[in-house]
Amino acid sequence: MASIKDRIVLITGASSGIGRACAEAFAAEGCKLLLCARREDRLEDLARTLRETHGTTVHTFSLDVRDRSAVVKALDALPDAWKTIDILINNAGLARGLEKLHEGLVEDWEEMIDTNVKGLLYVTRQMLPGMVARGSGHVINIGSIAGHDPYPRGAVYNATKFAVDAITRAMRMDLVDTPLRVSTVDPGLVETEFSLVRFHGDRERADGVYENIDVCTPADIADAVVYCATRPPHVSINEIIIMPTAQASSIVKHVGPLKRGE
């Protein structure tokens, strides 16, 4: 395992779920953290906790990754000490709605495409030239099982995660003559605010997604992200698909206790 102590890690969507868990996991590795999302109050609370528990050096800033000029402005305005990012974790993302395509809301589609695809591209386009110029860096995208295995009523969310997979693979080709690495960590069911956001705040429906299934925690996913980041420099973990034991594909999930033998 290679040490990543003192490395600068930029995490998008660090105010909740997998992004927050990544912040905690990379803080435990001794990294310096740049945390962004739209809900800055949450980031500040998290930063305070990380300073107290791990003595982490943290800088937070509010960012809507859909806003291209805000992305350029915020990342250009980073203090000099924070500009040389070692690891970029493109985590900010969401699903909206679960409808058949012909019944879907175009506003939901636009929000997913603007966040999961265009937002990821804006942030990456801004940070990657510096990594290439320095000959060092690691981009870790948070994709999804939905980017390999589509499911009904999820066409547009699925498409955004297929796009993340295509971007990751093509970036690896673009950068093959450099020491840079590009990974994707692709989870199945993880209990976060994901379903609450997907169902526009319907808590009962969101809770139903995880009911009676032993789903992954955000920390399980952060552990896989740290694994990617801590391999020796000549080793690239290209892709990790990580699901609950009780999930076998996007649509095959076992609800209730697992059969544990006689």
How many residues in the chain? 262
| 157 is annotated as an active-site residue | yes
Q: Does residue 25 belong to the site contacting ligand 8X3 (CB under 6 A)?
A: no
For CA atoms 223, 51, 138, 113, give the dihedral sign.
positive
Q: Does residue 38 belong to the site contacting ligand NDP (CB under 6 A)?
A: yes
Site residues for ligand NDP, window 61-100 (CB under 6 A)? 63-66, 91-94
Instruction: Give the Cα separation of 84 and 179 in Å (integer).
Output: 15
* Residues in Cβ contact with 166 at an 8 Å cutoff, skipping those fewer than 6 apart: none
Instruction: Give the Cα separation of 192 and 217 in Å (integer).
Output: 8
183 binds, among ligand NDP, ligand 8X3, none (CB under 5 to 8 A by kind): none
Q: Does residue 164 belong to the site contacting ligand 8X3 (CB under 6 A)?
A: no
Q: Does residue 144 belong to the site contacting ligand 8X3 (CB under 6 A)?
A: yes
250 binds, among ligand 8X3, ligand NDP, none (CB under 5 to 8 A by kind): ligand 8X3
Instruction: Give the Cα separation of 256 and 106 in Å (integer).
Output: 35
* Residues in Cβ contact with 111 at an 8 Å cutoff, skipping those fewer than 6 apart: 66, 94, 96
Which of the residues 122, 151, 157, 227 is marked catalytic?
157
Choice between 61 and 82, CB closer to ligand NDP: 61
* Minimum CB–partner distance for residue 144 and ligand NDP (Å): 4
Element (H, E) at 242: strand 239-242
Binding-site ranges for ligand NDP (CB under 6 A): 12-19, 37-39, 63-66, 91-94, 115, 119, 142, 144, 187, 189-190, 192-194, 197
The residues annotated with a catalytic role in the active site are: 157
